[in-house]
Amino acid sequence: MGDTGVNTLKITLKSIGIDIKLLPDSWASWGTKFSIWPAHLVTACCGVEFAHTSAPGYDAERWGFLPIFGPRQTNAIVIEGTVTRKMAKVVKVAYEQMPYPKFVIAMGSCAMEGGVFWNSYHVVRVSDIVPVDAWVMGCPPTPEAVIRAIRMVQDKIEGKEVKPNIRPSQFDLTKLKPDKPQRPPNPPHRIEFELIKDINVCKPMPNVKWELGQKLVDGFKSTLGNGVKNAVVRNVNDLCITLDSAGRLREAVESAFKLGFDHVKSINVIDLINAGVFRMEYVLGSYMNKELMPVLLTIYFDVPRDEAKVPSIIDLYPGADYQERELYDLFGVWFEGNPWMGSNFLLDPDTPVKYPLRKEYRIPSLKGVVVER
Ligand code: SF4
């Protein structure tokens, strides 16, 4: 336990009338050591292993390690997994609220250096936000590894010399000599898409016979007329319609709505960079119409990449709202009529990139992160 911690405890005890001269420092350390009550900040899947650590099998409370909820009543925080730029602020606010002495355990490869999201546009390392006392390695780490980190924090509180289990360090990769034994992690594998010009999205499976599906497809064809480029039964319970333009979307979803397709399952963008278009994909389904419940209706159309404008459908399908906002964030598709266009939703407002899922976007390489173990 550092001087600040002991002093805080002494001042607190003095205020309630306990003679601090009678209290050796070792008592305070001993008390703190077995009173680590962490707020756990579950940012991702590591949280499951943390729960496991506290469950009866491992019973971390045997070491005086008892998770509680409010950062203002805790002396430790376990940050469990991936921290995005948006979440980094929450981590900082939670940490700032904690009284001294306070300790931080960062859990999982994601917390250490980004893990599977290494070098991406939205993930930050915990050590860049708050000081870390113990790292827990793994993806996900085992409960034994979490317990090891708890023991490390306890040793630290007792004033024992603690050998760090990991020391992240940063240096300029350009200065690395080729024969240097430590190698940086491999950059993410890039797939070159230049050869892909088109994708046949409405390809029917051979020999599919589905009467209801054919009836629905014929209905769409007659309602939308020449606005339909292609309408097929792709498989049983799987209908596919390709429209000739974004201008036909409203008509198509309105007739789908009337037929009983009452919700949007997903809206997606396929970036066909080589054709200069975004292929929009709308998947509709039904919760209320028994016959249509297992049926998926997928609607496709193309919009030019340099002027990607699509009518919003949130008045008809309110569930489309967050998906439209996400696609604006990630691809820059403008949904006309959605009042949130122009503002970030998924990405933190200060994320320094625009439309990171467009194919031309290249992740700027980090200068270099090497983790010594
Ligand atoms: S380290 Fe692995 S388990 Fe933990 S948050 Fe990252 S991906 Fe999930």
What confidence tier does 186 reach under pLDDT thresholds 50, 70, 90?
Answer: low
The response to whether residue 48 sits with its C-beta less than 6 Å from ligand 1 reads no
The predicted structure's pLDDT at residue 344: 83
- Expressed in angstroms and rounded, the spacing between residue 114 Cα and the centre of ligand 1 is 9
Token pair, residue 276, equals 């200069």
> Is 90 exceeded by the pLDDT of residue 240?
yes
Topology of the domain covering 34-170: Rossmann fold (3.40.50)
Q: Which atom of ligand 1 is the closest one to the Cα of 139?
A: 2
Q: Which of 100-114, 149-163, 181-195 has the lowest mean pLDDT?
A: 181-195
Q: What pLDDT was estimated at residue 73?
A: 86
pLDDT at 308: 95
Q: With 70 as the cut, is the pLDDT of residue 194 above it? A: no
- The pLDDT of residue 367 is 44
Residue 24: how many other CB atoms lie within 10 Å: 9
Residue 203 has pLDDT above 80, yes or no: yes
> Is residue 205 scored above 80 in pLDDT?
yes
Residue 366: pLDDT band by 50, 70, 90 thresholds? very low
The percent of residues in the chain predicted with pLDDT above 70, rounded, is 83
Question: Residue 372: is its pLDDT beyond 60?
Answer: no
Q: What are phi and psi of 312, to 5 degrees?
A: -75, 150
Q: Would the pLDDT of 21 be above 90?
A: no
Residues in CB range of 230: below 8 A, 6 or more apart: 202, 240, 241, 242
pLDDT reported for residue 169: 60
What are the structural domain ranges in the chain?
34-170, 191-373
Query: CA 273, CA 40: separation in Å to the nearest integer?
Result: 43
pLDDT at 371 over 50: no
- Please write the tens of the pLDDT for every residue from 31-53: 888 888 988 788 888 989 988 98
pLDDT given at position 175 = 64
Amino acid at 159: G
Summarised one tens digit per residue, pLDDT across range 2-11 is 556 667 766 7
Nearest CA to ligand 1 atom 3: 140
Instruction: Give per-residue pLDDT as tens, 89-133.
Output: 889 999 999 988 899 999 998 988 888 888 778 888 898 899 999
pLDDT on residue 246: 95
Confidence band (pLDDT; 50, 70, 90) for 249? very high
pLDDT, average across residues 261-284:
94
318 touches 341 (CB < 8 A): no
pLDDT at 332 over 80: yes
**For residues 363 and 119, what is the distance between their CA atoms, to the nearest angstrom?**
7
- Cα separation, 181 vs 283, whole angstroms: 51
Q: Which CATH class is domain 191-373?
A: alpha beta
Confidence of residue 72 (pLDDT cuts 50, 70, 90): confident
Distance 44 CA to ligand 1 centre (A): 6
47 lines ligand 1 (CB under 6 A): no
In short, whether 46's Cβ falls inside 6 Å of ligand 1 is: yes
| Whole-number pLDDT of residue 256 | 94
Give per-residue pLDDT as tens, 281-310. 999 999 989 999 999 999 999 999 999 999
Cβ(108) to ligand 1 under 6 A?
yes
Mean pLDDT (the chain, rounded): 84
